[in-house]
Amino acid sequence: MKTESAMTDSRAADGAMPQAVRDTRTQLWCLAAAAAVGVVIFPLIVLPMIDFHLTMADARSLTFPLNGLVLPRTYLSAEEIAQQYAEHRVRFQLAALGMAIGVVPFCVLTGVVGARIRRMEKGFPIFSVLWWMSSVLCTMTPILMSLCLALAAYRPGDIDPEITRMLNDLEWLVIIYTWPIFNVASFSSGVAILRCERGKEIAPRWVGYVGLATGSWCPAGLTAIFVTGPFAYDGIFGTYLPLALLFTYYNVFFPSVIIGMIKEVRDARRAMAVADLS
C-alpha cells in the first residue's frame, strides 16, 4: 500500500509540474538513452578509429608533428594507400561501422538542443530552424565519411588502386570541405543565446561568443585546392585547427545546455516541495 501511495504521489507531483519542465525531463531521458547507446558502442567507434588513424599515418610524418601526425599524408601513392586498406580491411570496416552507429546519439543530442533553442526564441524561430537544418547536414557528414571508408575497404585488392585513393581522399574531404554547415550550426546557436532575454538562455552568454568565434573559421574550404602544405587535408590549418575549434565548441556548448536542463528540473522540484510545505 505504501508503494502504491508513493507512486500515486509521484504521478500527482509530475502532473503538477509545468509542461515546459516535463518536456525538459523527457528530453533528459532521451539524452540518457543516447548516452547509454554511446557507452555501448564507444569501444566499437574509438578503438578501430585510433587503429585506423595510426595505420594510415605515414611514419615519415612523425617528424612533422603539426602537419600529418594522424591523417594519411596526401603525397602517398595509390599503391601505398590501397596496400594499407588491403592489409587492414577488417579494422577499417569496423571503424566505418562505428562511425555510422555513432550518428544515433548525435541525432538525439542535436534534436534536443534544437528544442531548447526554440524555447529561447519569440516569433518565427529562425535560429532553431537553422540549427535543425544544419544539424541534419552535419549528421550526414559522418554517414558519408563512413560510407567512403567502407567502400574503400570493401575490395581494395580487386579494383584499381587509383579508385581506392580517390575514395580515401573523398573520405577526408567530405568532413573538412563541408565546413559551412558546421559554421551555420555554431552561428545559429551563438546568436540565439546572445539575442535571448537575460536569465532565459539555455547556456551562459559567453558560450554564445564562443559559437560566433568558432563559426568564423573559413580556411577549411581550401583543402580542395591545396594538395600539400598546411592547408591540405593533412595540414594544421586545413584539418587540425578547424576540428579543434569545432570539438572545443561542442564540448563547451552541449554540456552547458545539459547542465541548464538538469538545473531547471531540480529547481522546479524544489519549488514544488516548498509550495507543499507552505
- Residue 121, pLDDT > 80, answer yes
Q: Has residue 117 got a pLDDT over 80?
A: yes
Q: What nine digits make up the cell of 157? A: 585488392
User: What's the pLDDT tens digit per position in 204-225?
Assistant: 999 999 988 887 776 667 777 7
Q: According to the model, what pLDDT value does residue 100 have?
A: 84
pLDDT number for residue 48: 57
Question: pLDDT digits over 33-83, tens only?
Answer: 888 777 766 665 555 555 555 555 543 443 333 333 346 667 778 888 888
pLDDT of residue 36: 79
> In this predicted structure, which of 17-21, 71-75, 132-136 has the lowest mean pLDDT?
71-75
Mean per-residue pLDDT, 135-139: 88
